[in-house]
Chains A and B, each alone.
Chain A
Amino acid sequence: MSAIPKEIINWNILNEIVSMDEDDPEFSKGLIIQFMEQAQTTFDKMQNILHTTRDLGELDSLGHFLKGSSAALGLQRIAWVCERIQNLGRKHESSFPSSEVVRASLFGNDTEPSSAASVESGNVSQLDDSVYLQLIGEALQEARNEFQLANLELSKYYGSPL
């Protein structure tokens, strides 16, 4: 599991997009608003799957999907959580750090992504689907949190609530 990015936004990436506003005002803002809607929809879809079909493959691809667009906009912490969801969905990982660890990483604390909400990695293959679903549920909550943080930050940047 890669380390959690400390910064909510990778400005190297976002600035490049913002620079496109030159000949197309509001381009970056429009893109971000579109992402916001897309993210909300995807989160709701995930939530729905967790409550109904509990289909890990479906969660994997939704995670992958949102990872792509969030990373493209430089929203790297959301992208990081989405990657966790993707990997949990395909059972490549079997743990997700506790909410405290995720929070702490935001303030630059170098806490290793411990496996607070994890299971012994020895018998990964025998783990029940419900374990992964449980972890994805936690990750989804974190993703929503990160989404709120990013929204705040971006609203501040654009000087208007998004």
Chain B
Amino acid sequence: MNLSNDTDISRPSTSASANLGIVNNTNHNNGNNSNIKAPSNDFVRKLFGILERCEYPDIVRWTEKGESFVVLDTGKFTTQILPNHFKHSNFASFVRQLNKYDFHKVKKSPEERQHSQYGELSWEFRHPYFTIHNEEALDNIKRKTTVQKKIMLDDSTVLLKPNSGSQPGMEENTGANLILGNAVTKDKFNLLKRRVDRLQKDLDSAKEESYNAKLEFQKLNSKYNTVVESLFTFKTVNDNLMHNFNTLCSVLNNRGIDLPPHIYEDPNLKQHPNTQQQAQAQAQAAAAAATQTTTSTSHSTAGMSPLQNKAFDPLNNAVNAMVPGPVQLPAPLSTNSAAAAAAELQLPMPNMSHGPTVTTDKGDKLPETYDSFVLREGFHVLLVEDDAVCIQLCSKFLRKYGCTVEVVTDGLAAISTLEKFRYDLVLMDIVMPNLDGATATSIVRSFDIHTPIIAMTGNIEDQDLITYLQHGMNDILAKPFTKDDLHSMLIRYLRDRVPLIKQQEQRAHAANNPHHHHSTADNGTGTGTAGGSSGGGVNHRNNDGNNGNSIGPHSVDRNGYASSEADSQPELLTRSHSHSQLQSSLDDTANTTTTNPSGIPTQAMHPTSGQTQSSGRNAPLSTTASGHSASAVPDQEGKMLMDDEPLLKKQRV
């Protein structure tokens, strides 16, 4: 149906005004004949009567043969006959009516016309059943309505085509007549119009919906690709680390260090039943200890018993428990072997001249609260925030604390930035255009599990908080926050860390001075990174580790305060198997690419690029050790995040 609104509208108006008379006549003639199969032909019979009676021989009469009739004078016909006998107002409409009954004008050439006995202006009409004195035949004369109606309804354009047998001059009128005869009522028209409008609206909204769905799909698709890509990279790195770890283990073996075979032969060592039980026992001890100790956020750690220290971090202990071999090594042997092994691997080794007591001393000097702790300069912070005022304010505060700040304004940008560069900390708004902070974090977590990500938000209902943590965010900074709130948060996650940029400098330095071993970049990264990766609670553990130093042979302070202090680790190997070290080693691997010999630190740090894998073979000792722990981390971390909940800052709602 190509019934556009326009044609619909024009149809009734034009034809109705022009042909009002016809309508009546048509209706009159068809008045009692709604049944098409037996059409009335009163019109024809009336005409037949006039002709038979020969009432107006000068105006209209049978032709000589009696097979047709002729109108001699159309003017008189219109003025005298039409008003008296028919309801047609003009001759043309009378002719149209004849046409409807399938009468045809007898065509004549101009010459014939001139010599016609009835005069030049006469009109002759014929119909096979309309003959003189043959009234019965009239029954066969019918209105040819049905067919045309169908055409009308099927296709309005049909009107423009000539009707068979009608006169060229009559066609338009005939068409108009047809239109009128089949015009829809106004109600019906409006109904159809409404329906068309509604369909149009439906179509528009469907189009819009499908467009939106397409957009959404594209977005999801790109996210999915990002995730898959990161996973793939991660896996490659992981495989590489695993390989290096195995190499290291075999080297150690060759050096006569007795390693339990399952460490490097069984990649699923974390599921070792003994270690699990041990970890559980320690976790229970932790719970018991926690009830005695205050769990407030002011992390007073001095004077804690070794048991408590250990118990605070079941994960760390679990990992430690997995590597009993090195732990049991006598210190001198360990030192020597480690040095030898490291030399073999061409690793920068810490300076061995200091005794282990140095670190212990340092550990005792730890400040007791965050607030008195001075943050190092040079932390590189990514601020993800869409509000200009908040951006200015927050970055101002951060710079005040010696951080360098980079700003992106939505979640998608945050993901792509974190894919390319590394930061010491991420501050992430939640409600943002394109992608919210929580979802962005969960995607970031698929390729970066250790950079601390702090949510900044005004929505701090319990349910929201849980959601953020479940998405892998480490903590929540409630908006609006003060300078001090921000500072506490920075302290909590960065106090034990050396800024990435410093680590690079150190590593670059170490690369330039391989024999002096002044730099301990890999040590320095150590626990600091681990703390950041598993939430505020882990900081307890780092703290505790410090204090435990003085007692346990394997609880060496590794907080990497300053490179010089970490130098003194004779038990590098021991610690290199601890959870924190393992995690930090991920950082190291990631950073290797940017540790260029020229010693120029770059801000663009590529964590998981292809280059990493090639350089991974020459990676530091700790790097190789992390091979088996990387996969174990996320699980445990998820739980720990939930355990950290009491630490959440709920300031000013």
Contacts and interface: CB of A to CB of B under 8 A. Distances in A.
Interface of A: 2, 12-13, 16-17, 20, 24, 27, 31, 34-35, 38, 61, 64-65, 67-69, 71-74, 79, 83
A34 B392 CA distance: 10
Listed residue (A16, A38, A64, A68) with the most chain B CB atoms within 10 angstroms of its CB: A68
Contact of A71 (B396, B431, B458, B483): B458
Interface string B235-250: 0000000000000000
Interface residues of B, number: 18
Interface string B381-400: 00000111110110011001
Contact of B480 (A2, A74, A83): A74
20 contacts: A2-B653, A16-B482, A20-B396, A20-B397, A24-B396, A27-B396, A31-B393, A34-B388, A38-B388, A61-B431, A64-B431, A67-B458, A68-B458, A68-B479, A69-B387, A69-B388, A71-B480, A72-B389, A72-B480, A79-B480
A124 B390 CA distance: 34
Given A34-B392, A64-B458, A72-B390, 16 more contacts: A12-B482, A13-B480, A31-B389, A34-B389, A38-B388, A64-B431, A68-B429, A68-B458, A69-B387, A69-B388, A71-B479, A71-B480, A72-B479, A73-B389, A79-B480, A83-B458
Contacts of A64: 431, 458
Nearest 3 CB-CB pairings of A with B = A69-B389, A71-B480, A72-B480
Contacts of B397: 20
A139 to B, nearest CB: 17
Contacts of A35: 389
B393 A17 contact: yes
Contacts of A72: 387, 389-390, 393, 479-480
Contacts of B482: 12-13, 16
B396 A16 contact: no
Contacts of B389: 31, 34-35, 38, 68-69, 72-73
A80 to B, nearest CB: 12
A38 B392 CA distance: 13
Given A20-B396, A24-B396, A65 B480 contact: no
Given A65-B387, A71-B458, A31 B483 contact: no
A56 B390 CA distance: 24
Contacts of B390: 68-69, 72
Nearest to A66: B387
Interface in B377-421: 386-390, 392-393, 396-397, 400
A2 B431 CA distance: 21
Nearest to A19: B483
A31 B396 CA distance: 11
Contacts of A2: 653
Contacts of B429: 68
Contact of A16 (B388, B392, B431, B483): B483
A3 to B, nearest CB: 12
B121 to A, nearest CB: 68
Contacts of B392: 31, 34
A38 B387 CA distance: 9
Listed residue (A2, A27, A64) with the most chain B CB atoms within 10 angstroms of its CB: A64
A27 B87 CA distance: 93
Contacts of A27: 396
Nearest to A32: B389
A68 B393 CA distance: 12
Interface string B425-450: 00001010000000000000000000
A16 B429 CA distance: 21
Contacts of A34: 388-389, 392
A45 to B, nearest CB: 14
A79 B392 CA distance: 18
Contacts of B387: 38, 65, 68-69, 72
B297 to A, nearest CB: 21
A65 B388 CA distance: 10
A136 to B, nearest CB: 18
Contacts of A71: 458, 479-480
Contacts of B479: 68, 71-72
A71 B482 CA distance: 11
A72 B653 CA distance: 12
A9 B386 CA distance: 23
A31 B389 CA distance: 6
B67 to A, nearest CB: 75
A97 to B, nearest CB: 19
